[in-house]
Structure 1
Amino acid sequence: MAAAEELHFLLVPLAAQGHIIPMVEVGRLLAARGARVTVVTTPVNAARNRAAVEGARREGVEIELTEVAFPGREFGLPDGVENMDQLVDLAMYQAFFKAFWSMEAALEEYVRALPRRPDCLVADACNPWTAPVCDRLGIPRLVMHCPSAYFLLAVHCLAKHGVYDRVVDHLEPFEVPAFPVRAVGNKATFHGFFKWPGAEKFDHDVDEAEATADGLLINTFRDIEGVFVDAYAAALGRTTWAIGPTCAARLDAEASASRGNRADVDAGRIVSWLDARPPESVLYVSFGSLAHLRPKQVIELALGLEASGRPFIWAIKEAKLAAVSEWLDGEGYEERVGDRGLLVRGWAPQVTILSHPAAGGFVTHCGWNATLEAISHGVPTLTWPIFSDQFSSERLLVDVLGVGVRSGVKVPTLFLPAEAEGVHVASADVVKVVTELMDGGAEGAARRARAKEFAAKATAAVEEGGSSHADLTDMIGYISELSTKKQLGEKSTNNTEADAALSVVPS
């Protein structure tokens, strides 16, 4: 069996920051064990994430970054559009995934040119096009999932028991069958990936690639999702490892500062502002890279934050929209909230903020990376899901773990009546839920205590002796053994073919 130092892992993330970030963190964990790690992505995404990789190399963790050309132009995408946060409509999404699916030949050409075949290819679950490459070249393949195990299992149960086919109305309520906990929702809030018209082939390919993988990786840990991880592994019949939260292996703000998108404000200014606030008093507001609020909802949220009287930092990327920018400037909003509110018109250094003692709450879209960062830093959440798996993350945070408060969002914006103009939560209700999250009553104190307990468990999980550390060790051993078997099998096949050829040669 080969040692970790002799293994080469090829990582192929989906071109979305919420997928690239944990994949690079997995690469860092593998490289820290001595393995050789190469992250394969497109030129634009390589440029975005080069700082994180170079930072790891400066620390002595050897990760390589390799570029494969992205054929976006062939599918009608503008040059330079290579990440999901650059897409503006459903037509672009379909073109984006078609372009990705067509990268199979380029990836195979790259792998064939290597002096030695990789021992394992780790593919994002949304990159099933890597499966035929591994099949042809005899490379063990793992599928990595970036949402929660809760979501993965719920979607599987709903599909297996025919609920998606039986329920026509997207808002008709149902309970998830054969699920470890009671979970009530509807098709709008239990919406799986690739479940839109025209994406049927994508959906089939994803399922097939997962069903034939040599194993599954999930960025979670057993103290929060053990029952869901085990049930999903049993349902798929695949060896499954919970190796997260990958962010918990790097909780220091400075080391985690470069994560693909450059902050639009100096981190030092943020820290100075936070230093002047009492412990656990500041509310941090961010909706990630893909989720967007409608202008009317941005305004309602702004008015609610102002009326709450709480200090807050808001990474308000919607401020780059004309309607929002004009309202902020025309109303003199920043002057009114004064030094109590810090608006970052774009990206904020999230880890720096969440890791600061002054951070007391996090208004989040419940993307899985943001959810894990909140858990890992022990910061209670005000949940504001926008689409897909985010509603499952909300259920986990509020109903299962008891570390979150619901904002009141019931369905994705798409399912709101037109007259709502994208407003889920009115300003008065923002005040109410912010007060519930941030007040120090008995319930709030218990919520905060639970959040700190899970943070300690998250750190313990990735340290030596922890469950995720052990799962990663087991995965490395599994790949070492599997790679050795495949190499021996290939040699045996080559020898058999050579013997057969010799047997027909005249003596």
Structure 2
Amino acid sequence: MAQSKLHIAMNPWFAFGHLNAFLHLSNLIAARGHRISFLTPKKAQAKLEDFNNHPDLIKFIPLTVPHVEGLPVGAETTNDVPDHQGSLIMTAMDKTRPEVEAILKDLKPDVVFFDFTYWLPEVTKQLGIKSLQYCITSASTVAYILVRSSTKLDEGQQLTEDELMKPPADFPPSSTITLHRHEARALSFTTHRTYGEGISFHERIVYALRDADGYGFRSCREIEGTYCDYIENHFKKPSILFGPTIPQLPTTPLDENKAKWLGQFKPGSVVFCAFGSECVMEKNNFQELLLGIELTGLPFFIGLKPPSGTETIDEALPEGFKERVQGRGIVEGGWIQQLQIMAHPSVGCFISHGGLSSVTEALVNNTQLVIIPQRGDQYIIARLMSGDMKVAVEVEMREEDGWYSKENVCTTVKSVMDEGNETGKQIRANKLKLKEFLLDENLESTYLDSALDRLKETLLK
């Protein structure tokens, strides 16, 4: 088996963040001559085909997504519905089980990579196929929340807010991860909400962890090795690091007008703020963030979605803000070229919500990193980067409700932008070391080869 080529089936959650992450891994694996069968909704296939770098080895298997009452006709992915209907898409995905089972019975792959379909390990066991839960979140998030959630679930209980605020008693002693009260409350709500028919999000992920033959993470030992070991020691199953997903240099240049605007400022002087394509802030938090950035006196480029209760960015701006910052600040509400902007020489600080992809993009660029986590695994990633790795700083928030003041935003940004500030110096030095490591030309291939070897030696022996 060590020298043989694998046949791997991919069954990712019907959201493009997951579909794209699984396809990225598929491309890397197929580059080594392994065969991939990629299960995807029919309409999503058309959007993925252009990113298939090895069509001779990666074959899309279209799935018929059953209609579920409450969903628009033809809805197949989370991209087709508002956030609150994501659970119904999950119900529809669960209803593909008979078709998935028939496909796998016919294909007979060596292993199936999956994430949210908690029932898949039961299917694969019956067919004599191995399963690996490939998590696109951080290993530290799984270790902090889901390992002990599995124990509580076995006891018929749920993790309380107080328990979520503190790490488990046997957690890696090197970890600095803890949660604030408002973060624990938000995570408790998120994990225990219904996600699919008759099952909570927490149960869905824990059952998948419990029943899978192994786990995969898009990370590396140098960042999350202790957490990966912790997961493996708890579940007594292989926990495999496939290496971090390093963003590729964009082939499309930065918009000419934006490049010209950024080019008028000196290198490393511009503050760039973006919270991803899904984050919608409350209006008061949105305005306080803008006022804090204004208070720094630095030039800035902000790309955020209009806050809740508003239709456009202009109507959400603080009173008089647009006039006061004219010439040194831009706020936009649509899609932005995040990687191209971050790579511009004038940009010296990136304010992020702590999403894993955005943080990774910042780590391989020269920008200082400030994090204001908004939800879910972003709380854990923020502690990982600011505490364990010391490559970022967080804006101080109020313990009970997560409120931050414009003064806190300003002070934090200036601490990393001021070259004489000791915190800024330490963050810059640590981040430079990590950047050099992540951009090592052999990193990706070394980790992937090691992961595939371990997959064969453990799951497929």
**3-state SS of 1:241 partner:** strand
1:389-468 equivalences under 5 Å are 389-410=377-398, 416=401, 424-441=403-420, 442-460=422-440, 463=443, 466=446, 468=447
**3-state SS of 1:10 partner:** strand
Aligned to 1:297: 285
Aligned to 1:138: 128
CA contact (8 A) 1:252 1:355 kept: no
Q: Deviations over 1:169-202 (max 9, x none)?
A: 5699544321112433357535369622545734
Greater share of helix residues, 1 or 2?
1
Aligned mates of 1:171, 1:233 — CA distance in 2: 22
CA contact (8 A) 2:300 2:328 kept: yes
Query: Is 1:102 the equivalent of 2:95?
Result: yes
Give the partner amino acid of 1:79.
Answer: V
Percentage of identical aligned residues: 24
Aligned to 2:113: 122
CA contact (8 A) 1:378 1:453 kept: no
- Are residues 69 and 285 of structure 1, via their aligned partners in 2, closer, same or farther at CA, if it must alter by over 3 Å? farther
- Are residues 193 and 303 of structure 1, via their aligned partners in 2, closer, same or farther at CA, if it must alter by over 3 Å? closer
Aligned mates of 1:44, 1:343 — CA distance in 2: 34
Aligned to 2:301: 313
Aligned to 2:65: 70
Aligned mates of 1:171, 1:157 — CA distance in 2: 13
CA contact (8 A) 1:283 1:361 kept: yes
Deviation, 1:62, is 5.1
Name the stretch that deviates more: 381-390 or 456-465.
456-465
2:171 aligned to which of 173, 179, 191: 179
Deviation, 1:275, is 4.3
Deviation, 1:167, is 7.0
Over aligned residue pairs, what C-alpha RMSD do you find? 3.5
Aligned to 2:199: 201
Query: Is 1:245 the equivalent of 2:244?
Result: yes
Q: Deviations over 1:251-287 (max 9, x none)?
A: 3222xx6xxxxxxx96454444444443332322121
Structure 2 residues without counterparts, runs of 5 or longer: none
Give the partner amino acid of 1:358.
Answer: S
Deviation, 1:330, is 9.5
**3-state SS of 1:19 partner:** helix
Larger radius of gyration: 1
Query: TM-score w.r.t. structure 2 length?
Result: 0.84
Query: Is 1:283 the equivalent of 2:263?
Result: no
- Are residues 171 and 224 of structure 1, via their aligned partners in 2, closer, same or farther at CA, if it must alter by over 3 Å? closer
Aligned mates of 2:179, 2:166 — CA distance in 1: 6
Deviation, 1:396, is 0.5
Aligned mates of 2:77, 2:248 — CA distance in 1: 26
Deviation, 1:67, is 2.9
> How many equivalent pairs are there?
451
Aligned to 1:497: none
Aligned to 2:139: 149
Aligned to 2:40: 41
**3-state SS of 1:185 partner:** coil
Deviation, 1:379, is 3.6
1:319-358 equivalences under 5 Å are 322=310, 324-327=312-315, 333-334=321-322, 336-358=324-346
Deviation, 1:230, is 1.2
Aligned mates of 1:193, 1:139 — CA distance in 2: 35
CA contact (8 A) 2:305 2:313 kept: no
Give the partner amino acid of 1:443.
Answer: T
**3-state SS of 1:121 partner:** strand
Structure 1 residues without counterparts, runs of 5 or longer: 258-264, 417-422, 486-507
Aligned mates of 1:424, 1:61 — CA distance in 2: 52
Name the stretch that deviates more: 323-332 or 103-112.
323-332
